[in-house]
Amino acid sequence: MNIIEKLKETLSSVVPIMAIVLLLALTVVPFPLELTMRFLTGGLMVVFGLTLFLIGIDIGILPIGERSGAALTSKKNLKILLSVSFIIGFMVTIAEPDIQVLATQIGNLSANVSKWPLVIMIALGVGIFVTIGLCRTVLSLKLRRVLIISYIILFALAFLCPEYLQGAAFDAGGATTGPMTVPFIMALGMGVASVRADDNKKSTDNDSAFGLTGIASIGPIAAVCFYGIILNVMSGHDMDQASASSGTEHLSPNGMKVYAYLLPAILGDVFKSLLPLLIMFILFQIFLLKMPPVQLRKMFNGVIYCFIGLVLFLLGAEGGFMPAGQKLGEYLGMLSSAKGGIWTVLIVAAAFVFGAITVCAEPAVWVLTEQVEEASGRTIKRKIMLTSLSLGVAFSIGLSILKIIYGFSLWYILIPGYAVALILTFFCPPLFTGIAFDSGGVASGPMTSTFILSFTLGCASSYSFSGTNAFGVIALVAMTPLIAIQILGIIYKIKTKEAAS
């Protein structure tokens, strides 16, 4: 457990974001002093929160996921494996803090949309598609085939969904695969893949170790679309659209008092999120794993680190990062809508830079890149992965702002984007395809759901749009890495052939 190394990782991720925000606050955007102080304090909380969270993941979440996957597969009972996998996917999603935030934001769209039924629907979607993903691994089905069939069904559901819920539905796919869901699902998938590889007398089988997160992220999109269709049928017409909030209006106290105001609610949310996961761990220990006391203590220590880390992270994000992001979006959007020209270029450029930097601050991205580097035998370097992800996410955030400014449909981006991503699966090595679709899920985590979404909501309000026009930004963040990483895979394939010839 290298605390200094983890601290360096988070500092290198968060500090550049803080530096750019402060630069804009001192030059272009008139930040009040109290908001600046809140942002700086929130930044420190995010840094230490991410550090503790990543340590907890290493010593608690990842080991239990890998052991559970291996233990379930070794029982040679497909029904038990798939049944327990569904329960794992369902319960881990309930424990995902990003889902609570996004469900509240979607609930602000209409009085007909209720938070907890939506959360349960999303969790069911994840559970079903985690089961499908593990079934694909056990039965050695081609990832490309599973993805193409799933996305055909998904887009059919999306076209039947109420229009203003479509962007929110695709956002749910990105938000679900957050800091709690991704490590456990990836570890579970790698545990299943390793046992299958041993059974097949293979030394390595990394192709099947990746892709589970990408498949799992389809479930929430389909679930929200299906939920919207049900509400439409029940009401007999399109639901009344209400303005969406950024989730920051409840911050009524001024200055540093906002953190004391937020703390009780965040403590409760994190406790309720982690409790189902802790209960599941205990049941696994009793009936499945039977780990020795030393390993059990390490697991519980990891959960405690995760608890403290998530509390600090969410406190800093909601108390400092979200209000700062909304303020930046409102002001730059106001200048762009009033004056156009260089101000439009500036807001798009700012969005591009924020996208490139924010993805590196996502805790799940660090988990993914580390696992990818280890599983690929260090042939896929973390720096190359991060660079590819950063460029893809930067491009997607820039597109989101252009969509808000010019008011064109999200479908103009999603349909061509996913078509290209699926076509690339025919030319990209299977390992990179799995990594790419996993990357799409993990690139859109807490920082995207808080700072970036708040930035786009602020921008949309300046253009006299409802907050619904800002939805879709998480979807685009989740989509562009699918293309970027697969292009990297094709380049890697070409270079490998050239080196061998």
Instruction: Give burial (CB, 10 Å; 0-12/13-18/19+) of 197.
Output: middle
Q: Indicate the Cα dihedral angle 445, 449, 452, 458, nearest 10°.
A: 180
pLDDT tens by residue, 38-55 = 999 998 998 898 889 888
Half-sphere exposure (Cβ direction) of 28: Cα atoms closer than 13 Å: 20
> Mean pLDDT in the chain?
80
Residues 6+ apart with CB under 8 A from 465: 404, 407
Nearest to 474 by CA among 170, 227, 180: 170
Confidence band, pLDDT 50/70/90 cuts, at residue 325: confident
- Where do the domains of the chain lie? 14-493
Give residue 218's pLDDT. 92
State residue 418's pLDDT score.
92
Q: Output 82 or 253, whichever has higher pLDDT.
A: 82
Mean of the pLDDT values across residues 100-124? 77
Buried b (16+ CB within 10 A) or exposed e, 63-76: bbbbbbbbbbbeee
Query: pLDDT tens digits, residue range 457-501?
Result: 888 877 755 556 667 888 888 888 888 888 878 887 887 788 777
Contact predicate 327/29, CB 8 Å: yes
The larger pLDDT score, comparing residue 327 to residue 164, is at 327
pTM, entire model: 0.78
Of the ranges 98-102, 317-321, 390-394, which one carries the lowest mean pLDDT score? Answer: 98-102
